[in-house]
C-alpha cells in the first residue's frame, strides 16, 4: 500500500532524535507522508487501514520464566515439570535496575512459573543494524528484600541467584532461571526446619550506653539527672525539705533543695491594734518586684471597754452590784467584765471598775447592774477602738518576700501588722546526684508550711555510664513449615509454607548472666529486659594495645534463661570499658579501613549490601544478629571490582596481578609509580587514601600475607593445577573470593632485602629465612611498639552479633584465610550461603604444604611456630600455626551448602556448614546451632 500523503522533503537527520546527528534514510528526497495510503481493491474485497503511531515512550517488555532446582527431579505426575527439573513454588522474584533499586516484585506460582511487565528501553537506532537497545535488568530469584525482615515467601532452603537479562520492547522474554539448594533435603516441598524451638529466648538487639552492647563501667552507675515538679502545691512559706529514695548498696543517695516560686499575700496578723480610731484606716501593702501586682485589703476596727459613766446611782445596795456588758459585735470577741463601787453600806453605785475590757466591740455595749438587794443604777460604757484585723481583698502576685503593711487615717494611730507570702514549689536543685541507682528514686517534699507538692526524678548516665543494658526480644518470626506438602494440599498445617514462631522471654522473670556472673534485673517482660551489667566480670582474654588507645576491658557472653529453664543460643558479647567504640555511619568496610587495630566497631541494625574485608584485627560488633544483616550478593554487576582491587593492594599486587612498584600520580613527574604502578591510569591507589588508616604495606612489603606455597603470581599448573581457574576467578583468592566477611592477616616475617617476597620457584615458596610472627613481634618497634597493624596476635579481633547471608561467589559466609589468630566468631547467624569449601564458615582452606617434622628442616619456610621437639619423639609433626586459637561459639549456622570447585579437583567440597582446615590449631567450636 503506497503512501499518498502530502509530499515533503525528508530532513537530514532522523526526527526521533535529531540531536544524535544520525543521517535519515532518504535524506533530501521528496517523499509522500504515510498518514494516507492508497489501497487497491478487487471485486467484492474489503480492507482495514493500518496506521502505525510512533511515540518517544517505548512499549513495555513482557517476560515469563520458570525457576528450577537443577539438583532435583520432579516426580509429581500432575506437575507441568514432571520428568524434568523440580520447580520450587511461590518464590519471590525481584526485578531491579542497574543500580540495584527494585522496580517490581512478582512471585512464582505453585509450579515455579512467573511472568510480568517491565519497562523496555529509551533508545532506538533504526535503520542501523543494531536496532533497539534493550534495557538490561537484574532479575533475582528467591530475593528476600532489602529490609532486615525477609519477604514472607523467601525460602532459606534455596540460593538467591541474580541474572542480568534483556528486556526488548514489545517482545516476550523467556527466562530459564535456576536456583540451587542451600541445605540438605531441600528437594520437594518440606524443607528442614532449622529455626530455634519456640521456647528458646532470642534477641533482636541489645543496647547499653548508646547503640550496641557496650557500657563504660559495670555495676549500675545511674545518677539523678533531673527532678520534674508534677504538682507545685500551695501555701509554702519556706522551702520544704527534699528527700530522695536511698541508693542501692554501694551507691550514694542524692540530695537536693526545693526552689519556691513567687507567691501572693496570705493572711495578715495585727501586731498592734492602735487606739482612738473612729473609722477604719486605709491599708497599704508594699509593692512586689517588677511584673507583679500589689495586694490590697481593708482594716476592721474594734474596741475594748475603757470605762463606764454612772448616770444613776440607784439605792439600797447593801452588799454589791454585778455589772455586765452586752456581747461584742465581732465574732470571736470577748465580753467585758466590771465591778460596781458603792457609796456605802446599803448605798448607791458611785462608779464602775473595769475588770476585763473585753474585745470586738464596734459600738459601746449595754451596761446592766444587778443585785440581790438594791436597784435603780444605770450607766453608759465608753470604748477605745483600734485595728483588730485586715481583710485581704486582692492577694496580689509576684511576691518573693512578705511586703510591709501601713495604716493611715481613721482618726487613730499606733496600728501595726505583718503578713506571710504563700508560694508553690517550682523546681528542685540537685546538690548531689548520688550514684549507683538502678531505677529513678522517689522524691519526698515535707515541711515549709504548705501541702500538695509532688515530684519525680529521672536518671542520667554518669561519666562512668549507666551500666545498664536493654535487651529486646525477637518476637514473631515466620519459619519454614516442615510439614508443608505442596500446592495440592488443602488441609492445615500441610498447606502452609510457613508458620509463625514466637521468640520472647516469657512473662515470668528468669535469669540473665554476663560472662557467667548474674546480672541484677531492673525490669522483665516478654518483649524486653533491662538489667545491670554485673561487677566481677572477667577481663577480656586479649586487650587492645595502649599505642592504639586501648585500656583494660571486660567482656562476657550474654545468656538469657527463662523461668522455665531454657537458655538462649546466640545473643551478643557485652563489653565493659576499654576504648570507647566507633559506630558505622556509612559502610562497614569504611569503618574497618579507618579503625585502629583492636578497635570496637558498633554496627547498627540494618542491611549492609557489601563484601567485607577485615584486614586488621578489629572487634566487629553488631547490635544483634537478627537485626544487623550483611547481604553478600555480588549484584549489581561490578560489585566485586573494588573488592578485588583492595585484595590485590593488601597482598602487595597491582590491579594487573603483578607486584606493584608504587602509586601512579597523573599530575606527577614522568615515570612516577615505578615500572608497574598499582593503577597505570592513576584512578585508583593502594593504601594512600586518608580514609585508610594503619596501612603500612608497600612495594615488596605486603600488608597481609599468603599461606606457604600459596601461589599468587604466575598462575600455572605447577602452582594451582588448572589454568582455567585463573580465567574464571581472576583474583589471588581464586575459588574462595567474595565471602560475606573475609579475614586476612599478617603472619610471617620476611627477611629484610629479600629478593622475591612473592615466591621462588614453581611452588612459590617464601624467601629463605622467613619465620612466622609470634606474640614477641608485637613489641619489636621503637619503644616497644607494634610494627604490624595486621598481626592478629597483637590485638583483639571479633565478629559478633551479625547475620551473614546470600554469599555465592565461593568464599561462603565467613572466610578466615590465614593468620587470623585469636579471632572470636560468636553470636552470628550465618545462613543461606553457598561456598566452594563450606557455605557457612571456613577457617583456613583445604591446601597446605608438606608436614613440618620436629628435628628436621621444614620443607618450606616459614615453618612451625613451635621450635625444637616438644615431645622428644622422632619425626613428631609440628603444627602449621596458620590460624591459632580461633574461638567459634554461640552461632546459628543454618541452610548453607558446599558445591566444591568445579575447576580444581584439588579443592574438595567440605561440609555445608563449617570447615576447619589443616593449619587450624587449638581452635574451639562450642555451643553452636548447626542445621541443614
Give tens-digit pLDDT for 545-577: 999 999 999 999 999 999 999 999 999 999 999
Mean pLDDT of the chain: 88
The yes-or-no verdict on residue 495 having pLDDT over 90 is no
CA dist 929 to 368, 713, 890, 914, Å?
109, 39, 7, 11
The yes-or-no verdict on residue 762 having pLDDT over 70 is no
| Helix or strand holding residue 900 (H, E) | none
CB 737 within 8 A of CB 640: yes
The yes-or-no verdict on residue 720 having pLDDT over 60 is no
CB 364 within 8 A of CB 337: no
The yes-or-no verdict on residue 725 having pLDDT over 60 is no
- Provide CB contacts within 8 A for 313, sequence distance 6+: 343, 347, 348, 349, 350, 376, 377
In three-state secondary structure terms, 105 is strand
The yes-or-no verdict on residue 436 having pLDDT over 70 is yes
> How sure is the predictor about 99, in pLDDT bands with cuts at 50, 70 and 90?
confident
pLDDT tens digits, residue range 444-479? 999 998 899 999 998 876 666 778 899 999 999 999
- Provide CB contacts within 8 A for 585, sequence distance 6+: 591
Which is nearest to 546 in space by CA: 720, 790, 794, 323? 794
> How sure is the predictor about 581, in pLDDT bands with cuts at 50, 70 and 90?
very high
What is the distance between the alpha carbons of residues 626 and 570, in angstroms, rounded to a whole number?
10
Q: pTM of the predicted model, to two decimals?
A: 0.75
What is the distance between the alpha carbons of residues 258 and 208, in angstroms, rounded to a whole number?
33
**In terms of DSSP bridges, do strands 203-207 and 468-473 run parallel, antiparallel, or are they unpaired?**
antiparallel
- Provide CB contacts within 8 A for 921, sequence distance 6+: 879, 880, 881, 882, 883, 884, 885
pLDDT tens digits, residue range 248-290? 887 889 999 999 988 899 889 999 989 888 788 999 999 999 8
What was the pLDDT predicted at 242? 96
Q: What is the DSSP letter of 827?
A: S
Mark 653-676 as b/e (b = at least 16 C-beta within 10 Å): bbbebbbbbbbbeeeeeeeebeeb
**Edge-to-edge strands of the sheet including 135-141?**
102-107, 92-96, 135-141, 162-167
Upstream peptide bond of 31 is cis (omega within 30 degrees of 0): no
CB 622 within 8 A of CB 211: no
What is the distance between the alpha carbons of residues 378 and 312, in angstroms, rounded to a whole number?
5
For CA atoms 852, 858, 862, 868, the dihedral sign is positive
For residue 4 the three cell numbers come to: 499518498
Q: What is the DSSP letter of 726?
A: H
> How sure is the predictor about 81, in pLDDT bands with cuts at 50, 70 and 90?
confident
Q: What are phi and psi of 298, to 5 degrees?
A: -125, 145
Q: What is the DSSP letter of 508?
A: S
CB 154 within 8 A of CB 92: yes
The alpha carbons of the chain give a radius of gyration, in whole angstroms, of 47
Virtual torsion, Cα 227, 231, 232, 233, nearest 10 deg: -140
In three-state secondary structure terms, 608 is strand
The yes-or-no verdict on residue 68 having pLDDT over 90 is yes
What is the number of other CB atoms lying within 10 angstroms of the CB of residue 190?
18
Q: What are phi and psi of 379, to 5 degrees?
A: -170, 170
Beta bridge partners of 135: 167
For residue 330 the three cell numbers come to: 465581732
For residue 633 the three cell numbers come to: 550478593
> How sure is the predictor about 729, in pLDDT bands with cuts at 50, 70 and 90?
very low
| Helix or strand holding residue 393 (H, E) | strand 375-394
> How sure is the predictor about 186, in pLDDT bands with cuts at 50, 70 and 90?
confident
CATH number of 61-179: 2.60.40.1120
**In terms of DSSP bridges, do strands 834-835 and 897-898 run parallel, antiparallel, or are they unpaired?**
parallel
Residue written as cell 565478629?
A: 799
Residue written as cell 470571736?
A: 332
What was the pLDDT predicted at 901? 66
- Provide CB contacts within 8 A for 592, sequence distance 6+: 601, 612, 613, 614, 615, 616, 618, 620
Upstream peptide bond of 757 is cis (omega within 30 degrees of 0): no
| DSSP string covering 743-795 | EE---EEPPTT-S-TT-BTTTTBPPTT-EE--GGGGG-SGGG--S-TT-TTSS
Length of the chain (residues)? 932
What was the pLDDT predicted at 113? 95
What is the distance between the alpha carbons of residues 220 and 467, in angstroms, rounded to a whole number?
4
What is the distance between the alpha carbons of residues 136 and 434, in angstroms, rounded to a whole number?
65
pLDDT tens digits, residue range 501-533? 999 999 999 999 999 999 988 899 999 999 989
CB 830 within 8 A of CB 897: no
Phi-psi category of residue 618: left, alpha or beta, with phi > 0 → left and psi -120 to 50 → alpha: beta
Which is nearest to 201 in space by CA: 598, 661, 519, 526? 526
pLDDT tens digits, residue range 103-153? 999 999 988 999 999 998 876 655 555 567 788 899 999 998 877 678 888
Which is nearest to 416 in space by CA: 514, 511, 283? 283
| Angle, CA 441 vertex, CA 438 and CA 444 arms, to 5° | 170
What is the distance between the alpha carbons of residues 444 and 459, in angstroms, rounded to a whole number?
16
The residue that leads in pLDDT, 928 or 45, is: 928
| Helix or strand holding residue 728 (H, E) | helix 723-728
What is the distance between the alpha carbons of residues 187 and 175, in angstroms, rounded to a whole number?
22
What is the distance between the alpha carbons of residues 817 and 883, in angstroms, rounded to a whole number?
8
What is the distance between the alpha carbons of residues 437 and 444, in angstroms, rounded to a whole number?
17
CB 372 within 8 A of CB 261: no
What is the distance between the alpha carbons of residues 634 and 160, in angstroms, rounded to a whole number?
11
What is the distance between the alpha carbons of residues 359 and 261, in angstroms, rounded to a whole number?
38
| DSSP string covering 552-596 | -EEEEEEEEE-TTSPBPSS--EEEEESSPPEE-SS-HHHHHHHSP
Which is nearest to 135 in space by CA: 148, 157, 151, 118? 118
Which is nearest to 479 in space by CA: 212, 712, 194? 194
| Whole-number percent of the chain with pLDDT over 70 | 94
- Provide CB contacts within 8 A for 889, sequence distance 6+: 557, 824, 825, 826, 924, 925, 926, 927, 928
Question: From the centroid of its chain, how far is CA 156?
Answer: 26
Which is nearest to 361 in space by CA: 388, 342, 379? 388
**Greatest C-alpha distance within the chain:** 170
pLDDT (average), residues 482-487: 82
For residue 892 the three cell numbers come to: 546459628
What is the distance between the alpha carbons of residues 269 and 388, in angstroms, rounded to a whole number?
9
* Cα within 13 Å of Cα(111), Cβ side: 13
Percent of residues in the chain assigned helix, strand, coil, to nearest 5: 5, 40, 55
Q: What are phi and psi of 899, to 5 degrees?
A: -115, 0
The residue that leads in pLDDT, 443 or 847, is: 443
For residue 397 the three cell numbers come to: 502576685
What was the pLDDT predicted at 723? 43
CB 367 within 8 A of CB 384: no
The yes-or-no verdict on residue 717 having pLDDT over 50 is no
CA dist 257 to 429, 439, 448, Å?
5, 21, 12
Amino acid at each position: 500500500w503506497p503512501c499518498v500523503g502530502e509530499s515533503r522533503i525528508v530532513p537530514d537527520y532522523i526526527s526521533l532524535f535529531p540531536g544524535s546527528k544520525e543521517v535519515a534514510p532518504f535524506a533530501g528526497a521528496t517523499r509522500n507522508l504515510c498518514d494516507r495510503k492508497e489501497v487497491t481493491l478487487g471485486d467484492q474485497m474489503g480492507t482495514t487501514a493500518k496506521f502505525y503511531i510512533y511515540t518517544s515512550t517505548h512499549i513495555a517488555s513482557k517476560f515469563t520464566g520458570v525457576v528450577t532446582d537443577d539438583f532435583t527431579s520432579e516426580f509429581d505426575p500432575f506437575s507441568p515439570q514432571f520428568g524434568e527439573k523440580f520447580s520450587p513454588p511461590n518464590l519471590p522474584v525481584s526485578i531491579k535496575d542497574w543500580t540495584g533499586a527494585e522496580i517490581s516484585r512478582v512471585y512464582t506460582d505453585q509450579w515455579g512459573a512467573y511472568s510480568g511487565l517491565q519497562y523496555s528501553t529509551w533508545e532506538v537506532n533504526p535503520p542501523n543494524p543494531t536496532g533497539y537497545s534493550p534495557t538490561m535488568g537484574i532479575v533475582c530469584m528467591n530475593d528476600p528484600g532489602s529490609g532486615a525482615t525477609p519477604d514472607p515467601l523467601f525460602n532459606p532452603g534455596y540460593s538467591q541467584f541474580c541474572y542480568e537479562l534483556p528486556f526488548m520492547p514489545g517482545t516476550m522474554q523467556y527466562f530459564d532461571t535456576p536456583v540451587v539448594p542451600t541445605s540438605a533435603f531441600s528437594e520437594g516441598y518440606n524443607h528442614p526446619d532449622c529455626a530455634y524451638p519456640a521456647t528458646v529466648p532470642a534477641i533482636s538487639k541489645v543496647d547499653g550506653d548508646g547503640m550496641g552492647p557496650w557500657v563504660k563501667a559495670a555495676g549500675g552507675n545511674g545518677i539523678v539527672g533531673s527532678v520534674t515538679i508534677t504538682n507545685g502545691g500551695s501555701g509554702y512559706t519556706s522551702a520544704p525539705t527534699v528527700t530522695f529514695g536511698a541508693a542501692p548498696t554501694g551507691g550514694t543517695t542524692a540530695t537536693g533543695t526545693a526552689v519556691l516560686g513567687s507567691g501572693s499575700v496570705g493572711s495578715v496578723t495585727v501586731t498592734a491594734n492602735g487606739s482612738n480610731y473612729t473609722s477604719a484606716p486605709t491599708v497599704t501593702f508594699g509593692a512586689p518586684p517588677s511584673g507583679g501586682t500589689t495586694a490590697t485589703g481593708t482594716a476592721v476596727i474594734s474596741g475594748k471597754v475603757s470605762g463606764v459613766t454612772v448616770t444613776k446611782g440607784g439605792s439600797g445596795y447593801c452588799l454589791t452590784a454585778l455589772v455586765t456588758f452586752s456581747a461584742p459585735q465581732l465574732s470571736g470577741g470577748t465580753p467585758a467584765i466590771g465591778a460596781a463601787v458603792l457609796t456605802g453600806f446599803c448605798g448607791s453605785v458611785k462608779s464602775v471598775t473595769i475588770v476585763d475590757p473585753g474585745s470586738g466591740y464596734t459600738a459601746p455595749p449595754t451596761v446592766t447592774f444587778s443585785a440581790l438587794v438594791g436597784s435603780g443604777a444605770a450607766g453608759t460604757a465608753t470604748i477605745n477602738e483600734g485595728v483588730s484585723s485586715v481583710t485581704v481583698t486582692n492577694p496580689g502576685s509576684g511576691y518573693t518576700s512578705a511586703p510591709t503593711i501601713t495604716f493611715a487615717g481613721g482618726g487613730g494611730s499606733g496600728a501595726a501588722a505583718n503578713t506571710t507570702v504563700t508560694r508553690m514549689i517550682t523546681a528542685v536543685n540537685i546538690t548531689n546526684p548520688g550514684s549507683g541507682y538502678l531505677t529513678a528514686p522517689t522524691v519526698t517534699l515535707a515541711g515549709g508550711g504548705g501541702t500538695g507538692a509532688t515530684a519525680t526524678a529521672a536518671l542520667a548516665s554518669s561519666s562512668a555510664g549507666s551500666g545498664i543494658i536493654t535487651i529486646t526480644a525477637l518476637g514473631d518470626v515466620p519459619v519454614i513449615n516442615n510439614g508443608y506438602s505442596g500446592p495440592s494440599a488443602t488441609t492445615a498445617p500441610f498447606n502452609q509454607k510457613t508458620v509463625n514462631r514466637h521468640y520472647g522471654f516469657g512473662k515470668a522473670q528468669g535469669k540473665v548472666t554476663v560472662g557467667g556472673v548474674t546480672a541484677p534485673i531492673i525490669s522483665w517482660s516478654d518483649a524486653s529486659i533491662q538489667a545491670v551489667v554485673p561487677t566481677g566480670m572477667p577481663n577480656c582474654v586479649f586487650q587492645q594495645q595502649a599505642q592504639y588507645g586501648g585500656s583494660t576491658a571486660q567482656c562476657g557472653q550474654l545468656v538469657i534463661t527463662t523461668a522455665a529453664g531454657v537458655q538462649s543460643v546466640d545473643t551478643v558479647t557485652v563489653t565493659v570499658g576499654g576504648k570507647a567504640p566507633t559506630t558505622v555511619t556509612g559502610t562497614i568496610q569504611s569503618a574497618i579501613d579507618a579503625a585502629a587495630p583492636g578497635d570496637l566497631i558498633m554496627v547498627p541494625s540494618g542491611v549492609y549490601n557489601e563484601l567485607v574485608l577485615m584486614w586488621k584485627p578489629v572487634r566487629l560488633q553488631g547490635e544483634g544478629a537478627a537485626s544487623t544483616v550483611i547481604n553478600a550478593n555480588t549484584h549489581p554487576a561490578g560489585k566485586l571490582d573494588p573488592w578485588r582491587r583492595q585484595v590485590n593492594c593488601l597482598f602487595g599486587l597491582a590491579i594487573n596481578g603483578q607486584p606493584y612498584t608504587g602509586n601512579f600520580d597523573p599530575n606527577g613527574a614522568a615515570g612516577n609509580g615505578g615500572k608497574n604502578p598499582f593503577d597505570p591510569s592513576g584512578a585508583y591507589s593502594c593504601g594512600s587514601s586518608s580514609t585508610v588508616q594503619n596501612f603500612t604495606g608497600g612495594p615488596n612489603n605486603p600488608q597481609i600475607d599468603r599461606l606457604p606455597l600459596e601461589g599468587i603470581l604466575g598462575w600455572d599448573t605447577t602452582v594451582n593445577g588448572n589454568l582455567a581457574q585463573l580465567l574464571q576467578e581472576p583474583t589471588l583468592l581464586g575459588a574462595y573470593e567474595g565471602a560475606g566477611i573475609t579475614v586476612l592477616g599478617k603472619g610471617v616475617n620476611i627477611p629484610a632485602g629479600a629478593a622475591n617476597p612473592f615466591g621462588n620457584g614453581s611452588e612459590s615458596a617464601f624467601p629463605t629465612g622467613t619465620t612466622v610472627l609470634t606474640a614477641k613481634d608485637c613489641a619489636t618497634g621503637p619503644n616497644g611498639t607494634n610494627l604490624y597493624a595486621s598481626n592478629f596476635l597483637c590485638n583483639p579481633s571479633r565478629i559478633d552479633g551479625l547475620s551473614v547471608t546470600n554469599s555465592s561467589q565461593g568464599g561462603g559466609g565467613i572466610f578466615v584465610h590465614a593468620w587470623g589468630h585469636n579471632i572470636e566468631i560468636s553470636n552470628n547467624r550465618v545462613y543461606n550461603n553457598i561456598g566452594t569449601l563450606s557455605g557457612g564458615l571456613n577457617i583456613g582452606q583445604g591446601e597446605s604444604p608438606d608436614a613440618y617434622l620436629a628435628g628436621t628442616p621444614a620443607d618450606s619456610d616459614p615453618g612451625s611456630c613451635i621450635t625444637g621437639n616438644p615431645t622428644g619423639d622422632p619425626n613428631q609433626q609440628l603444627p602449621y600455626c596458620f590460624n591459632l586459637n580461633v574461638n567459634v561459639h554461640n552461632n546459628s549456622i543454618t541452610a548453607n551448602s558446599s558445591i566444591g570447585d568445579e575447576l580444581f579437583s584439588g579443592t574438595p567440597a567440605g561440609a555445608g556448614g563449617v570447615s576447619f582446615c589443616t593449619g587450624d590449631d587449638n581452635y574451639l567450636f562450642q555451643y553452636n546451632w548447626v542445621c541443614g
